[in-house]
Amino acid sequence: MQIFPRSSNAIARASLFVTVFAVAGLFWVLAQLQRSPYVTQAGVRKPQPVPFSHQHHVTGLGIDCRYCHTSVEESSFAGIPPTKTCMNCHAQIWTNAAYLEPVRESYRSGKSIEWTRVNQVPNFVYFNHSIHVNKGVGCNTCHGPIDKMPLVYQYASLQMEFCLDCHRAPEKYLRPRDQVFNMRYEPPSEEPSHENEVTFNGTSYTDQTALGEALKQQYKVRPVQDITSCNTCHR
């Protein structure tokens, strides 16, 4: 005696397929969510106690990154400038601007301004600014067009896949050290619509890969298998 109708077999097989696709779809949705700005905070402008504009100070006034981030070439941290650095200029200009009162109060009291951190990797990740700067990684490679940001935001996801993309092929991103802080730097290119050449050690390059290989040798960039090793970043 047949208990279930013949269609039960087809229904069972269809249920298995639906379950597999549903689970796969759920994993895909979760993967996309993990990469989204909701999780990474990329592109999110966070409120600050003072509306500091990199666009105004860098593009408008031409202030070099190292004027404020004094330790970026020698330390693992880029460093947040002390209030005294701000007051080098603002003791002379915009002295009565209301929105700069937190800066003046910080200078008077000696209490640091509590800035909201924008770019931050997890505590289990080791990142050293000076290593990247001295190996020829430009500021805007990771921070994006920060010189055009009225209010700074995190440009990249800063997730592991973002770091590995560069570590697996550093020649695609390296530039001469004297161009690291140049926000208008353009990599060499033979493209008719965007021709550009870069000179390094007396040789002109129109191909980024060739330039990157020369820079890797000159700056003694470690082999790919070393810089993609787990303990390079997870110490």
Is the confidence at residue 3, as pLDDT, over 90? Answer: no
Is the confidence at residue 178, as pLDDT, over 90? Answer: yes
- Give residue-wise pLDDT tens across range 143-157: 999 999 999 999 999
- Determine how β-strand 198-200 pairs with β-strand 203-205: antiparallel
Backbone angles phi, psi at 45, to 5 degrees: -85, 120
Checking 100-106 for CB contacts under 8 A at 24+ apart, the result is 100/50, 102/49, 102/50, 103/50
Whole-number pLDDT of residue 146: 95
* Separation of alpha carbons 172 and 123, rounded Å: 28
What would the mean pLDDT of 189-198 be, rounded to a whole number? 84
Q: Which of 32-41, 46-55, 58-67, 125-134 has the lowest mean pLDDT?
A: 32-41
User: Could you tell me the pLDDT band of residue 2, with boundaries at 50, 70 and 90?
Assistant: low
Query: Residue 129 burial by CB count (10 A; 0-12/13-18/19+): exposed, middle or buried?
Result: buried
Backbone angles phi, psi at 200, to 5 degrees: -140, 125
Would you say how long the chain is, in residues?
235
- Give residue-wise pLDDT tens across range 220-233: 999 999 999 999 99
Is the confidence at residue 1, as pLDDT, over 60? Answer: no
- Give residue-wise pLDDT tens across range 200-218: 999 999 999 999 999 999 9
In this prediction the pTM is 0.84
Residues above pLDDT 70, as percent of the chain: 98
